[in-house]
Amino acid sequence: MREYGVQHESWGPLAEGGQGFFDDPVLAGIARAHDRSVAQIALRRLIQREIVVIPKSVRPARMAENLDVFDFRLTDDEMTRIAGLDTGRSHIFDHHDPEKVTWLGGVRFDT
């Protein structure tokens, strides 16, 4: 993406908490090893991959937790274990579903 001047962004880095995201045993084990939360592990992985993360929270404590990810690093093994969780499908909606893509393409935000 760098070749084309594109910065990868993750607007839903915590999968909206769906599909048992926060209970995943791999993420939970890595979180315990670093004395961190599953959310912090997920955010740290993206940051280490140089992906801009935009987590949503309205709770000040969670906002602070989301920012507290710059004083540790995940090991190569941990990064690989987390990558192994990728199913190749979105946890939020199927980006390959023509109906969903058409709907998303038709969304208009009036001001």
Structural domain boundaries in the chain: 2-106
CATH for the stretch 2-106: 3.20.20.100
Distance between CA atoms of residues 108 and 111, nearest Å: 10
Distance between CA atoms of residues 13 and 54, nearest Å: 7
* pTM for the whole structure: 0.78
The predicted-structure confidence for 60-98, as pLDDT tens digits, reads as follows 999 999 999 999 999 999 999 999 988 776 666 666 777
Instruction: Say if residue 111's pLDDT is above 60.
Output: no
Distance between CA atoms of residues 29 and 88, nearest Å: 22
Residue holding tokens 């920012």? Answer: 67
Least confident window among 29-33, 47-51, 105-109: 105-109
Total residue count of the chain as it appears in this document: 111
